[in-house]
Amino acid sequence: MATATTTYREALREALREALSADDRVFLMGEDVGKYGGSFGVSLGLVEEFGPERVRDTPLSESAFVGTGIGAAIAGMRPVVEVMTVNFSLLALDQILNNAATLRHMSGGQLSVPVVIRMTTGAGRQLAAQHSHSLEGWYAHIPGIRVLAPATLEDARGMLAPALADPDPVVIFEHGSLYNVSGELAPVEGPLDVASAAVRRSGDDVTLLTYGGSLPKVLSAADLLAGEGISAEVVDLRSLRPLDDATIMASVARTHRAVVVDEGWRTGSLAAEVSARITEQAFYELDAPVGRVCSAEVPIPYARHLEEAALPQAEGVAAAAREAVGHRG
Amino acid sequence: MSTSHRKPAKPAHHGTHQDAAAKHHRDLLASMLLIRRFEERCVELYSAAKIRGFVHLYIGEEAVAAGVLDALGPADAVVSTYREHGHALARGVPTDAVMAEMYGKATGCSRGRGGSMHLFDTSRRFYGGNAIVGGGIPLAAGLALAEKMRGGPGAVCCFFGDGAFAEGEFHETANLAVLWGLPLLLACENNLYAMGTPLRAEHGQTDLAMRAASYGMPAWAVDGMDVLAVEDAARRAVEGIRAGHGPYFLELRTYRFRAHSMYDPDRYRDKAEVEHWRTRDPVMLLERRMRSAGELDDASYAELDRRCTDEVDRAVAAAEAAPVEPVGDLLRYVGTVPGDLPEAR
Ligand SMILES: Cc1ncc(C[n+]2csc(CCOP(=O)(O)OP(=O)(O)O)c2C)c(N)n1
Ligand SMILES: [Mg+2]
């Protein structure tokens, strides 16, 4: 089928449009999702198309409107709640953790919370320390929710429908540096599998595991490495909870080396979890210690050079891969 | 509640209207007495280590649950707090299921996952027991939003305390609910304390109804020890909500006779203050009123009381005999995502 040129932002919008058209129970709410079009322009035009009841501007009250989404989901609606950024989601963390993630369990299985919460994450736009953090690893810590990180146009377009079909809460992290990424997107064919990690580039010498906004950097690192004769496999985790252990371990079992790249801080990170699982499940396959490339342990700074230095970059990923390959088991 | 019709004391002057009123009063009395007897038994069971965890008693506040919930119908929804036995029972959650939950048994209304603070019964639209102070308020707004978007007739009633009134979640939700005209009854149980902190130390302005009104919703204070006043206020509020006037706020002025929880030695209140409030015991106030109206006598009161006690006895016996959930089911009801938990691989 014919592909079309689109952006990550437009792909997300198309997914929202499709969901709003397909199911009366679906509605979008969040700060400035209406006329303004969403703080990152994702919902631009949707209020004109679907009206202010279903594309609903909320007051500035993260806890109240996220909780309202959770309550509406319990009552059988299919709300998509947009939180401007993961930093602001902390004002709603009570609702997400103490209500969305626990209600099914606390009620002995009586309640279902089919809410989708979308938020922007990540750095790279010189927005400094209160708009740049990557806390998706915290969310991935929580049983009772599914955590997704679309890194490609296809996933931006395709992850919302399965998230809405999920009877449990799903949190979707959109990396701020990806909205303007453009490329070719094939028309949707059937529901997307959101449970599996994806091999974005095949290779034999080392597995580079990453997700979300770091994927383009890791793919660049793989290009650099290819120029040096190192064949890197790139695995996009896609689902941060649950993690697709099978795909991770299958790749590591072939390459015998792994580097995890995560924009979160290293200490207590998602990268730490992936690394621990590899040592638990594939220790005897390893020819080198599992490497990690994470953000420096500092609030993300404003100045461009400092911000760049704080974040994982292609060169640092390549260096970690070289080090892993340097180990000859 | 009453199955046998007793002879009215003054049959000559009573028509059907008076009979209906008398029956209604008996129902309210029965509702309050059941809560009272249930919780008195909880104290014994707690001392006997049959039930554990945080247990927050409602004794003294029964008129609020009985009166407010009497004004709701089955299509309405209820969101409660951790001090919720009274709300659950008055809503009609079976006494057996509540007691079994206190015991942590499989037959409990939350299959033993929740305990005293997390009672749920979706078949009665009872959406639980929230132990995060203020945490249930946005949830209730969401239930109300769903109702409104679907054009349903239901109202959502959310109980919370005077302490919760200080939380951002209350203020955020009050604003949002008014803005969106949600069918929400905000039922604030002002028992004058948040744990050990008295109202005047919690709030710069202690007139809670006035503050709620400032959000743009009808709000008023009610004598929360007078079940008929509570019921009347709730009925008026629910009428307004059903007429599409958006959220209402009731400040129900009440008092808890017991400590905050079973852990609380209750050192922060004057005994005299507690004794003063006990003279306004809501069960006693209704009982007196009914006696002077000839709606109740010693025999009928004793009969009512015995029925409540029997119901609690049966619930305890059933809970004692009930099975516990198998440990093999530990990971059930976390989510439907396969493989979410590493142990489940
Ligand atoms: C967010 C949060 N903060 C603190 C607590 C601890 N806590 C439990 S009950 C309570 C007092 C609440 O008082 P109020 O809202 O008046 O309700 P009451 O217990 O009097 O019924 C506190 C502080 C909690 N459970 N949740
Ligand atoms: Mg209180």
Interface pTM, i.e. ipTM: 0.89
Using CA positions, which residue lies closest to atom 5 of ligand 1?
B133
How many residues are given for chain A?
Answer: 329
A79 falls within a domain: yes
Orientation of helix B227-242 relative to helix B16-47, angle to 10°: 110
- Ligand 1 atom with minimal separation from the A94 CA: 1
Q: Are A71 and A95 within one domain?
A: yes
Question: Mind listing the pLDDT tens digit for each residue in A255-288?
Answer: 999 999 999 999 999 999 999 999 999 999 999 9
Find the residue in A nearest to B124 (Cα).
A110
A131 is catalytic: yes
Q: Check residue B299 and give its pLDDT.
A: 98
Tokens of B13: 């002057």
Using CA positions, which residue lies closest to atom 25 of ligand 1?
B132
Q: Check residue B13 and give its pLDDT.
A: 55
Nearest to A111 among B122, B140, B147 (CB): B122
Is-contact B186 B215, C-beta < 8 A?
Answer: no
Question: Mind listing the pLDDT tens digit for each residue in B24-55?
Answer: 999 999 999 999 999 999 999 999 999 999 99
Choose the final residue of a domain: A185, A217, A237: A185
Q: What is the CATH number of the domain that holds A290?
A: 3.40.50.920
Q: Which of B78, B130, B143 to mutate to test the interface with A (most CBs of A within 10 A)?
A: B143
Q: Check residue B1 and give its pLDDT.
A: 36
Q: Which of B333, B343, B345 to mutate to test the interface with A (most CBs of A within 10 A)?
A: B333
- Name every chain A residue with its beta carbon within 8 A of the beta carbon of B147: 75
Taken in order A288, A293, A294, A295, is the CA torsion positive or negative?
Answer: positive
Question: Mind listing the pLDDT tens digit for each residue in B190-219?
Answer: 999 999 999 999 999 999 999 999 999 999
A138 falls within a domain: yes
| Confidence band for A93, pLDDT divided at 50, 70 and 90 | very high
Q: Check residue B14 and give its pLDDT.
A: 53
Q: What is the mean pLDDT of residues A36-50?
A: 97
Share of chain B above pLDDT 90, in %: 90
A123 falls within a domain: yes
Q: Which residue has the tokens 């009877």?
A: A167
Q: Are A54 and A181 within one domain?
A: yes
Q: Are A148 and A238 within one domain?
A: no
Q: What is the mean pLDDT of residues A65-75?
A: 98
Using a CB–CB cutoff of 8 Å, tell me whether B111 touches chain A: yes
pTM for the structure as a whole: 0.92
How would you classify the pairing of strands B219-223 and B248-253?
A: parallel
Q: What is the mean pLDDT of residues A222-232?
A: 98
> Catalytic: which of A131, A133, A175, A256?
A131
Q: Check residue A53 and give its pLDDT.
A: 97
3-state secondary structure chain B: CCCCCCCCCCHHHCCHHHHHHHHHHHHHHHHHHHHHHHHHHHHHHHHCCCCCCCCCCCCCCHHHHHHHHHCCCCCCEEEEECCCHHHHHHHCCCHHHHHHHHCCCCCCCCCCCCHHHCCCEHHHCEEEEECCCCCHHHHHHHHHHHHHHCCCCCCEEEEEECCHHHCHHHHHHHHHHHHCCCCEEEEEEECCEECCEEHHHHCCCCCHHHHHHCCCCCEEEEECCCHHHHHHHHHHHHHHHHCCCCCEEEEEECCCCCCCCCCCCCCCCCHHHHHHHHCCCHHHHHHHHHHHCCCCCHHHHHHHHHHHHHHHHHHHHHHHHCCCCCHHHCCCCCCCCCCCCHHHC
Closest CA to B65 of B30, B91, B40: B91
Q: Which residues of B98-114 are buried (b: 16+ CB within 10 A; e: fewer)?
A: bbbbbbbbebbbbbbbb
Taken in order A89, A94, A99, A105, is the CA torsion positive or negative?
Answer: positive
pLDDT exceeds cutoff 60 at A161: yes
Using a CB–CB cutoff of 8 Å, tell me whether B193 touches chain A: no
Using a CB–CB cutoff of 8 Å, tell me whether B108 touches chain A: yes
Please provide the average confidence, as pLDDT, over all residues in chain B.
93
Q: Are A49 and A149 within one domain?
A: yes
Answer yes or no: do A103 and B128 touch at CB < 8 A.
Answer: yes
Nearest to A53 among B132, B143, B149 (CB): B149
Answer yes or no: do A64 and B135 touch at CB < 8 A.
Answer: no
Question: Mind listing the pLDDT tens digit for each residue in B275-334?
Answer: 999 999 999 999 999 999 999 999 999 999 999 999 999 999 999 999 999 999 898 999
For chain A, the domain total comes to 2
Choose the final residue of a domain: A185, A206, A227: A185
| Confidence band for A103, pLDDT divided at 50, 70 and 90 | very high
Q: What is the CATH number of the domain that holds A12?
A: 3.40.50.970
pLDDT exceeds cutoff 90 at B153: yes
Q: Which of residues 316-345 of B touch A (CB under 8 A)?
A: 332-342, 345
CA of B221 to the centre of ligand 2 (A): 15
pLDDT exceeds cutoff 70 at A83: yes
- Counting one residue from A and one from B, how many pairs have CB atoms under 8 Å apart? 161
**A26 bridge partner residues:** A78
Q: Are A104 and A163 within one domain?
A: yes
Share of chain A above pLDDT 70, in %: 99
Alpha-carbon distances, residue A112 vs A26, A98, A168, B334 (angstroms): 16, 14, 6, 10
Q: Would you identify the CATH topology of the domain B17-344?
A: Rossmann fold (3.40.50)
Q: Check residue B2 and give its pLDDT.
A: 38
How are strands ordered across the β-sheet holding A232-236?
A: A198-201, A232-236, A206-210, A258-265, A291-295
d(CA B43, CA A156): 55
Question: Among A173-182, A237-246, B171-180, B335-344, where is mean pLDDT lowest?
Answer: B335-344
| Structural domain harbouring A302 | 198-326
Find the residue in B nearest to A115 (Cα).
B142
Choose the final residue of a domain: A185, A216, A249: A185
Find the residue in B nearest to A146 (Cα).
B337
Neighbours of ion ligand 2 (CB under 5 A): B 161-163, 191, 193-194
Question: Mind listing the pLDDT tens digit for each residue in A129-155?
Answer: 999 999 999 999 999 999 999 999 999
Q: Check residue A34 and give its pLDDT.
A: 96
Answer yes or no: do A103 and B175 touch at CB < 8 A.
Answer: no
Q: Check residue A328 and give its pLDDT.
A: 57
